[in-house]
Amino acid sequence: MFEPVIAPSASLLGLLQRGRGDGQLHALAADRTEAIAALEQCVTSDPRVDWQLENRSLYYARLYMELEAPLSGLEQHLHGVDDVLDTDDSRTGLTLSVLGHLAAYGRRDALDLLRGYVATGSNWAWALDELALRDDDKSLLALAPAVLAHFPADEAGEAELRAAIRSAYEPRPWRLWAAEHPRIAAASEQSPFDLWQRQLNRQGVTPGWSTADVLAWADTPAHNPFDTEGVARRAAAAARCLAAVVRPEDRPALLDTARAGVPGARLAALRHLLDQQDEAVACLLEAAAADVDHRIVTVALELVGRMRGPEALAHARRWADPATGGADSALGEAAVRLLADTGEPADGPLVVAALRRWISVHGVTGAGLGSLVDGVGRLAAAGAVPALRHIYGEAASSELRGRAAQALAAVDSYFARGIAVECLWDCEETTRELAARHVTTTGDVRVLERLRRLAADPAEEAEVHAAVRGRLTARDRSA
């Protein structure tokens, strides 16, 4: 799957792709045809960096309702030739989720689209899960023949049917169908036994019961030199085994292995020594972070973030300080993230400087940025406000934007009267909840209207409902 192409943040399309509250507000004020075209582009070409961390479906469904937009563009997307050529869930998942919300809002055309796609679409299982939450029993029962047609009546087809039943998020349709279709009933009964059989038949070589045996096992079989994740996984498993077999007299051997052992054993020894909070682990990790083997470096930097205690913070400050370490080095960046996670208020300037440096080098992307954002909020570093506002406005990830909003709520005195207002329309429920708890309810007529609409919307999350109703109740009492 290709990375989504995100339009500039000042454009209507860019705002909608990011799921920002201003996207909905601008769309309602824009030319309706232009707004619907931008909305369709977002729903049919998923703009999310990570669909498991970011929400968009309710946000887009609400805008479909506000604009009274037709679903013809979504129908063409679902039933086009690409549905046969590209069967990846990511192509149609967002579209189907939006249709599910629209069906819940009472859009009959959305319900019909989902039913039709269950019968003919490649991602029919997702559409069925959406219907399972919204459709009536009679309509679901009518879909059973079309669903069964997806599975040939042979051994391979029966295995696929059992797998589909096992992987369904919503079991309701399958339970309804089992009462009337013997084939589905038999597959439903057999499906749990398939899983147990696979678990019983798992093959694998386990290490012996000594430190030397475990360290040797950590490096077998031979690994692909570019398979960083494979080496790290086996080393992590070996480290867990070491916790059960290491004796006090094994420490010298572990230290030697952690300094210069072969990759798998070295990483396992480093992990074990870190878990035991060994006094030598900081120096060992510093050396590993400068190693020529990228696998060693990658895991060492990850382990730096797991260090704890006053001594660990002292080492992190040295590594992160431009005067004593390499603030712009990989070790320096890992050390700053440690300070962001567990440091003290006095570490705030170092974390703010690292946040600014990250933005200048990497922009508003990257796995380490979120930790720095959380850190400046946790440390109440007011100097980070301009950087946080920039991240809030530009981030393509709505999850990262929500973290920036959380930090701004802690350090920006203007948050409640400014960004919090926009956040009431945000695509992330956690961001809407944050806004409901902090927003100033006087001075902007849109705020109370939005709070009341959120309180009345049955599709809204329970946490948002609680926050909104709490603010409305408190306001009514003070009035």
Asked whether 72 and 93 are in contact (CB, 8 A), the reply is no
pLDDT at 168: 87
pLDDT at 328: 66
Confidence of residue 1 (pLDDT cuts 50, 70, 90): very low
Share of the chain above pLDDT 70, in %: 93
Encode pLDDT of 345-400 as tens digits: 999 999 999 999 999 999 999 888 999 999 999 999 999 999 999 999 999 999 99
> Residue 153 above 70 pLDDT?
yes
Average pLDDT of the segment spanning 20-34 = 96
pLDDT at 250: 92
pLDDT at 16: 98
Encode pLDDT of 267-277 as tens digits: 999 999 999 99
Average pLDDT of the segment spanning 75-91 = 90
Average pLDDT of the segment spanning 320-342 = 85
Average pLDDT of the segment spanning 439-450 = 91
Confidence of residue 2 (pLDDT cuts 50, 70, 90): low
pLDDT at 26: 96
> Residue 474 above 80 pLDDT?
no
Average pLDDT, the chain: 90
pLDDT at 455: 95
> Residue 56 above 90 pLDDT?
yes
pLDDT at 197: 54
Average pLDDT of the segment spanning 17-37 = 96
pLDDT at 187: 84
> Residue 209 above 90 pLDDT?
no
Encode pLDDT of 223-242 as tens digits: 555 666 778 888 898 999 99
Phi/psi zone of residue 380: left (φ > 0), alpha (ψ -120 to 50 degrees), beta? left
> Residue 477 above 80 pLDDT?
no
Nearest to 162 by CA among 176, 143, 178, 142: 178
Q: Which of 195-204, 248-257, 470-479 has the highest mean pLDDT?
A: 248-257
pLDDT at 380: 95
Average pLDDT of the segment spanning 176-183 = 90
Share of the chain above pLDDT 90, in %: 72
pLDDT at 321: 85
